[in-house]
Structure 1
Amino acid sequence: MVPTDPATGDEAAPATEPHPAPAAQRAAGRRLLRAAARRTRASMGLLALCTLLRVLATLATPVMLGRAVDAVHTGDPPAAPLTWLAVVLTVAALADAGEDLAGAYCGSHITAWLRHRLVGRVLELGVPGRRRFPTGDVLARLTESASGPAAFPVQLVAAAATLATTAGAVVALALIDWTLALAFALGVPPAVVALRVFVARASAPFADYQRHQAAVATRLLDAHQGIRTIRAAGTAAREADRILRPLPALREAGRRTWAVQGRVSWRLSLLAPLLQVVVVAVAGLRLGTGDITPGQLVAAASYTAMAVGAAALFDTFVALLNCEIGAGRVQEVLDTAPAVAPPARPVALPDGPGRLDMRDVTVRIGDRTILDRLDLTVPAGTGVAVVGASGTGKSVLVSLVGRLLDPQEGRVELDGVPVTAVAPPELRRAVAYAFERPALLGATVHDLIAYARPEATRAEVRRAARTAAADEFVRALPDGYDTPLHRAPLSGGELQRLGLARAALTDARVLVLDDATSSLDTATELRVTQALRRMLARRTSLVVARRPATAARADLVAWLDGGRIRALAPHAELWPDPEYRAVFAAPGSGA
């Protein structure tokens, strides 16, 4: 199945933008993570303080333990060293609990902030954004990609703590005996090289894995939206194959990820115990020569175990790399400029009756030219039916009026003012839409109708519903207008009438009905149209029409053909033309 754009009715083309290079994606991710860190300074400061206390307590533990051993060895009272050891261990435990609390707060705050920004930008991108970032892809970025960076504060501080612990342990080894620090230092260069190789080689498969996961989610959501068609056509097996088609690429990306991790992991796994054996062996030799005490040997063994704990940095590097890639996928959306941007210096609309002018309008979607230097003038207060064969761009044309889309070339004017110069809120009040498949937005039926005017009273909502011939069936629902939408069994025609009521509630000077009566039977459409006539009489209206009767009720018909207006005339004048009549006879003529 091919998903269609709910705002334009056109097929939603898959993203054609090239995927960003892993290095660029990681750089974008780091930029976003730095911004997230700045927003959580206080909690990250608390996290860093708790971590510092834990590191200091951890480094002090071998010293206290060594003193206790030496006290027992020399026959001195061990009470004082043991007391200090208990204090240090208590501080370490409390600091560890504080780390968990501060890390959880930081992570949840960052996740909420990223998701809020991502949702806001997706809504700003509008219809063109849906073509570049399909629903499943956005969902994957909103859930997995945006939640991954939650681990960033903890992992970053953990990496710093590990490095500080390792550095402190090496300094302590040097203070005990310089040969111990030298023995440990021999293993540092190969460990650094292994980590650098991992970061260089793992970025691409990590990014590919998240991208292929998003591809599966996108296909699944597309199929879920068309589940009735799939069941009716008996194509469930074929759809399952289509949904799971990215799995081989997903598996290959996972295999490459694990292969890179495995190659580095076994090297570090061998290096860590080898270093520990070497350092302890050197310490044993120094004990034999009398250069260190038994307590210092115990402390040296403990510090060596701490120092080789730096091998755990590998897991931290894996987590941080995932954070960077996830944040980079979020930043990719945030960096995308909306195709329909608000004007820098808005111009107010005059108190006009709703005259529409389109001049040399050209719209391209991908490689396809939908509208080609189109000219159209709609006199104020005129009802125009937009007619054309399937795929001629009827929905695209009416989308230009309210700036659901912007043309690549040409001008669209409302009462002499370019719509691109009008502030979006003012334009939304001036142009109202009703679509073929209205979105179920809001908690109740009342909320759905009053979505664009939440301050509307119940009387105003009922009046709009009566205009759309919807009041009768709404009052028959279990709780009338207060019926929750998930408990309202609505047919396609009833849902369209609620969409018409939502449009009728606005006081817009231009009303656009984009196939908004296609699910109504002829009798109901006639009743709804008669009810709307009073409202349309004082407004300019554009109606995407698929039935001859709908076109006949309009003042004028704009016949769209080949990306241009072939004729602008009353339906009765066009009807004798066999090519015009063929438009209504063609399958899917209303699409």
Structure 2
Amino acid sequence: MTAVPAAERPLTFRAAVRRSLAWLPLIAAAAVLGSLGALALPLALAAAVDAVAAGGDATGPVALAAGLIALGVACDLAESSAETACAADAAARLRTGMVRRVLGAPHRISRFDTGDLVARISAGAADAAHAGPSAVGAVAAALPPLGALAILVWLDWRLAAAFAVGLVLVAMVLRLFAKQTTAAARQYQAAQSEIAARLTEALDGGRTIAAAGTAGAETRRVLSGLPALARHGRAMWRALSAAGARAAVAGPLATVGVLAVAGFLVAAGRLSPGELLAAGQYAMMGAGLGSLTGVVAATARAKAAVARIAEVHDLSAMSYGTDTLPPGTGRLEFTGVTVDGDAGPILRDLTFAVPGGATAAVVGASGSGKSVLAETAARLRDPDSGTVTLDGRPLSALSRTELRRALSLATARPALAGATLADALGPGRPRTLIVDAATAVGAHDFATRLPAAYDTPLPDLPMSGGEAQRIGLARAWHAERLLVLDDATSSLDLLSADRVEQALAASDRTRLVVTYDATQADRADLVVWLEAGAIRATGPHGDLWDDPDYRAVFAR
């Protein structure tokens, strides 16, 4: 059986811990060594006290105690540094995996708001990255009290019995605290994401809000989640304060119980004064179990964050094959293609073929599935059943490089990314190819009028909708066999649109054009008419025009 790559496995708290394995041995070693030093220190101090009480030389025990203190400081520094590096590395890995899924399968994340995704990827990944260090910290922090219990058994079982009672009480306090904190932390993170989602919506619609004069109302809407955020934050603080109060009662009980028993044992001559001191210090270690609340709180936040980012991480990432395309002219074929949505099929049993080098227009009423067909043809999403092939090869069997070299998609509202105009026009491509593509779609004149031409920073570009579409077209122009245009020239003026049409006609690539324009449909070699996700008819535009329902598609 083929092993599933770690990046593709479901994300659980344990899986998040495993992603930190490179650093955890160092963290664990420093924590264990520090704990052993802390356990040895009371015995060294006891030996020093007994040596002084007996009139002997305490130099050796005192030097040992000083060395153990220095060891503890060094271990704390090493553990802190390793935890910081481990969390940074784990956060980078988690964010990389989430961004890859978000960008690789955009249709699967439509149920998440943009702001919510940003919050999960940024703050959520940072909290989840502490899964490994917090898990090791929880185990390591339990070593001193458990070791103290073992040493008290060695000193006298009655000391251990008194200590164990308080230890159980404090452990019960911590268990309740962990449960309460985990629930409150997840609700707090969810409230943060809701505020981030509303803020993102407001920023996207900033011009509309300003024009409508509704900034005040929108501010109240964005911040309407603050009371819930405050409520969940107070819940975490209440859980922490309650745990502290309970530990303040349970912890001293362990100390008082051990000291009382130790006092009787000293009086009976069964313990030396140094051993009495050691017993008191070990009892304080048990009382100090309440300090584990910080570790427990970090673990609770990490668990809550892992659960939230797992909802995104566990979305199936799009996989690629290793095939290359055979020689061909770009024949596109849909065979029994069905694409499911949340409310039922979006596309239903589509079967059609576009000959290599031909142009197919996809038309239909709004909501008929045209854009989903375009995404499926460009393999931005896979069909739930059926196959899409290019020159006889299933798109899913092609390597990522081969697929993206062979086909591309341009949309009506392209999202432009990159530092400069050149980056937006052709990310990672040679400047000559960028200029050729820009010239073909009429973006070169626009670029040369800018102060820094193609090197103009993207945020400084004064773009209209048509100019953005030209940039999107240029970015997709590199496709060697299939160019999918989803209403990609709707904002161009007639002259610019005609120029793009001429450039397309001069190429021998197959074109799949989603359009509402009867003129574009008339120019196409084939029309695929969609209705409610199914093919109503295929054929030349002139043959379909006699149908009044077909003419109604363009009456908008």
TM-score, normalization by structure 1: 0.83
Q: 2:553 aligns with which of 583, 586, 590?
A: 583
Q: Secondary structure at 2:377's aligned position in 1?
A: coil
Distance of aligned partners of 1:415 and 1:179 in 2 relative to their CA distance in 1, 3 Å threshold: closer
Residue 35, structure 1, aligned to residue 18, structure 2: yes
8 Å contact kept, 1:32–1:328 = no
Gaps in structure 1 of 5+ consecutive residues? 1-26, 587-591
Q: Is the 8 A contact 1:443 1:485 kept in 2?
A: yes
- Given that 2:18 and 2:132 are in contact with CA atoms closer than 8 Å, whether structure 1 keeps it comes out as no
Q: Secondary structure at the match of 1:160?
A: helix
TM-score, normalized by length of structure 2?
A: 0.88
Give the Cα–Cα distance (whole angstroms) in 2 for the partners of residues 174 and 562 of structure 1: 77
Which residue matches 1:466?
A: 439
Q: Distance in 2 between matches of 1:252 and 1:441?
A: 38
> Against the structure 1 CA distance between its residues 243 and 365, is the aligned structure 2 distance closer, same or farther, given a 3 Å change threshold?
farther
Q: Note if contact 1:511-1:541 (Cα within 8 Å) is conserved in structure 2.
A: yes
CA-atom RMSD in angstroms: 3.0
1:494: how far off?
1.4
Look up the SS of the partner of 2:110 in the other structure.
helix
Q: 1:384 to 1:141 in 2, by over 3 A?
A: same
> What is the rounded CA distance, in whole Å, between the counterparts of 1:425 and 1:178 in structure 2?
70
Which of 278, 285, 290 aligns to 1:299? It is 278
The structure 1 residue matched to 2:119, chosen from 140, 152, 155, is: 140
- Structure 2 letter corresponding to 1:479: A
| 1:448-463 superposed matches below 5 A | 448-451=424-427, 454=428, 456-463=429-436
SS of the residue 1:186 aligns to: helix
AA partner of residue 451 (structure 2): P
Q: Deviations over 1:152-173 (max 9, x none)?
A: 3443333333322112323333
Q: Which amino acid aligns with 2:33?
A: L
Asked if the contact 1:444–1:481 (Cα under 8 Å) also holds between the matched residues in 2, the reply is: yes
CA contact (8 A) 2:11 2:314 kept: no
Equivalent residue for 1:495, pick from 440, 453, 468:
468
Q: Is this contact kept in 1: 2:247–2:287, CA < 8 A?
A: no
CA displacement, residues 41-67 of structure 1 (integer Å, 9 cap, x when unaligned)? xx3322223223322332233233334
**Quick one: which amino acid aligns to residue 312 of structure 1?**
S
Distance verdict in 2 for CA 1:172–1:569, change over 3 Å: closer
Question: What's the secondary structure of 2:466's corresponding residue?
Answer: helix
- Where in structure 2 are the equivalents of 1:336-415 lying within 5 Å? 336-338=315-317, 340-343=318-321, 348-415=324-391
Q: Which runs of 5+ in 2 are unaligned?
A: 1-9
- The letter of the residue matching 1:33 is A
Measure the CA separation in 1 of the matches of 2:542 and 2:161.
97
Encode CA deviations 1:537-566: one digit per residue, 9 max, x unaligned: x12212222334443443444333333343
1:32 shift after superposition: 1.0
The one-letter amino acid paired with 2:283 is T
1:308 equivalent in structure 2 = 287
Pick one of 79, 87, 95 that aligns with 1:107: 87
From 479, 490, 508, the equivalent of 2:480 is 508
**Gap change, CA 1:353 and 1:270, over 3 Å in 2:** same
Moved more, 563-572 or 217-226: 563-572
Counterparts of 1:323-334 in structure 2, within 5 Å, are: 323-334=302-313
Cα distance in 2, alignment partners of residues 352 and 458 from structure 1: 28
* CA distances 1:6-31 after superposition (whole Å, capped 9, x unpaired): xxxxxxxxxxxxxxxxxxxxx95333
- The 5-angstrom pairing of residues 1-20 of structure 1 reads none
Q: Check 1:421–1:177 CA distance in 2 against 1; reply closer, same or farther (3 A cut).
A: closer
1:144–1:68 CA distance, 2 compared to 1 (3 A) = same
The alpha carbon displacement at 1:519 in A equals: 2.0
Q: May I ask how many residue pairs the two structures share in their alignment?
A: 547
Describe the superposition over 1:63-89 as per-residue Cα deviations: whole angstroms up to 9, x where unpaired. 333344444445445444433332222
